[in-house]
Structure 1
Amino acid sequence: MVEGEAVGGGARVGRGPLQGLRVVVTRPAHQADTLAATLEAAGAQVIRFPALDIAEALDPRPALALVDRLETFDIVVFTSPNAVARGTALVRSRRSWPPAPRIAAVGSGTARALAELGLHAHIVPDGSYGSEGLLAQPALQHGDVEGRAVLIIRGEGGRDLIARTLSERGARVESAIVYRRVRPALDPERLLAPARRGEVDALIVTSGEALRNLFDMMDPAGRAWLRETPLVVVSERAAALAREMGVRSKPIVAARASDEALVEAVARVRSAHGSERSEP
């Protein structure tokens, strides 16, 4: 598939609960493949429009200094699959992974990214993913983290809930910034052209920053279209942000950030909005 173009020309689109739905995937280009394939297997046509890109941290030296003393930390927290990819690459450039620190992951996708690199996540939310779910785990409560050294491997900006909460619980927290989020230089016409033809049924947006980027890319007419288009998000925070930005249709919140949960959420677009359009 090409960015900004629907599946076609031999791409395999299955028959399933999303049959006939045209769905925009806004994940970074290097992270969109599995979600796109899962949507296609369920019958959707996919339009890729990455509203977010991942770049190296502007200054890697502070993170490298922390990596050099990785064995001094009791717990290492990874906040996303991107944190795993960038953080472990920094580690490999300097040393092997030490046996001492316990590893925490904010969700199943992050834990899976660690497992693919041979690292086991000892602390993973069970049920409610994200920062809140991780902080609810017994191993991260006051009595267990007080006095412990915790390293958070994360991207630039974003929430500081994990660092703040663990500090309040008595942990000695430091953060390694290993990547930054940037807005891609995309022509919005790649998305607006199919939108004008009525060939977009839903948008999947998996971060607040991607949603802001979408609005920033658009002219007034494009922003008006965004406000009327069914939106699938992965958290109540993102849904609240969408409402703040004037999205009129109630955002559908996926149960988790997994590909399967997003497919289930997109299926709810049809029942919520009565979409029964055929394929273009």
Structure 2
Amino acid sequence: MTQPLAGVHIAVTRPPEQATKMNAAIAQAGGWVISFPLLDITSLPDLSAFHAAITPLHQFDWAIFISSNAVQYGMPLLQQDPLPARLKFAAIGPTTASALGSFGVTEVVKPADRFDSESLLILPELQQMQGQRVLIVRGVGGREVLADTLKQRGAEVVFGECYRRINPQKNADLLTQAHAGNQLQAIIITSSEALRFLLDVAGELDWLKAVPLFVNHDRIAEQAQSHGLTVISAGQPGDEAMLQLLTRHFNPNK
């Protein structure tokens, strides 16, 4: 059986527990996985600010989740009391909506194609927001465009920050050494934070400019290109889309 990624060394930067399927798919296709997690998700040591933000929960008309991590860390806290029947849910994309489903939330507004704040803001349900109170469940920090636009539309917005993102890598020696030995042909990046953390530890960018980044979102591609990096975008989430992107690039005749 032809292995379309035979001999290709690919750095996977997702947290190990989130990269299991991707790593297995790469190995099955003949590729070599370099595990280089650039993102670690941890709970907050003090959740008092989160609880203060969401209390009382019945004040909100909408709860918007910006990632599956926001669901995993936020929903158990929200469900400590019964969810208000009037509370409507929105998710940044299908993966996040599916995570909400695992908590019994089945009616979720979500974008149909590109999965980001801008696409969420296009949805008709989020146009007339005058007098609406919105809870945005997220990690510490992040983009403000969603909150700012909803405020411009008349909504009151509260952030419920329930986790944080940290970079577990102190340097990029593993990748630079692999590149020097011609054993690094691709780096997979699936979040803006991971890209930012990669740039933080990369040092001199000459080596990084020589290695194509494979990303799942056009916004990440735009950010990487602004640093002069070579980027190939799947334009959609999911391990299958990423594997197809890698296969087309390294084995275009198959």
- TM-score, normalised via structure 1 length: 0.81
**Equivalents in 1 of 2:28, 2:127: separation in Å?**
41
SS at match of 1:50: coil
1:60 matches 2:47: yes
Aligned residue for 2:206?
224
SS at match of 1:256: coil
- Contact kept? 1:52, 1:183, Cα under 8 Å: yes
Aligned residue for 2:103?
117
Over 3 Å counting, the alpha-carbon distance change for 1:15 and 1:80 in structure 2 is farther
- Contact kept? 2:171, 2:202, Cα under 8 Å: no
Over 3 Å counting, the alpha-carbon distance change for 1:31 and 1:97 in structure 2 is farther
Aligned residue for 2:223?
241
- Contact kept? 1:215, 1:226, Cα under 8 Å: no
Over 3 Å counting, the alpha-carbon distance change for 1:219 and 1:141 in structure 2 is closer
Over 3 Å counting, the alpha-carbon distance change for 1:175 and 1:264 in structure 2 is same
Write the mapping of 1:202-217 to structure 2, written as runs, cut at 5 A. 202-217=186-201
Aligned residue for 2:21?
34
1:151 matches 2:138: no
SS at match of 2:235: coil
- Contact kept? 1:75, 1:103, Cα under 8 Å: yes
How far residue 261 of structure 1 moved from its aligned partner, in angstroms, is 1.7
Aligned residue for 1:23?
10
1:177 matches 2:157: no
Aligned residue for 2:92?
106
**Equivalents in 1 of 2:182, 2:151: separation in Å?**
50
- TM-score, normalised via structure 2 length: 0.89
Over 3 Å counting, the alpha-carbon distance change for 1:121 and 1:175 in structure 2 is farther
How far residue 58 of structure 1 moved from its aligned partner, in angstroms, is 5.5
SS at match of 1:47: strand
**Equivalents in 1 of 2:144, 2:45: separation in Å?**
19
What amino acid does structure 2 have at the position aligned with 1:40? Answer: A
- Contact kept? 1:103, 1:120, Cα under 8 Å: no
Aligned residue for 1:75?
62
**Equivalents in 2 of 1:266, 1:120: separation in Å?**
33
- Contact kept? 1:105, 1:121, Cα under 8 Å: no
SS at match of 1:237: helix
Q: Percent of aligned positions with the same letter in both sequences?
A: 37
How far residue 119 of structure 1 moved from its aligned partner, in angstroms, is 2.1
- Contact kept? 1:108, 1:124, Cα under 8 Å: yes
How far residue 64 of structure 1 moved from its aligned partner, in angstroms, is 0.9
SS at match of 1:173: strand
How far residue 107 of structure 1 moved from its aligned partner, in angstroms, is 0.6
SS at match of 2:162: strand
What amino acid does structure 1 have at the position aligned with 2:84? Answer: P
Structure 1, unpaired ranges of 5+: 1-13, 275-280
Query: Comparing 75-84 with 191-200, which one deviates more in the overlay?
Result: 191-200
Aligned residue for 1:44?
31
How many residues get paired? 254
SS at match of 2:190: coil
What amino acid does structure 2 have at the position aligned with 1:75? Answer: W
RMSD: 2.4
How far residue 230 of structure 1 moved from its aligned partner, in angstroms, is 0.8
What amino acid does structure 1 have at the position aligned with 2:213? Answer: L
Aligned residue for 1:253?
233
- Contact kept? 1:67, 1:90, Cα under 8 Å: no
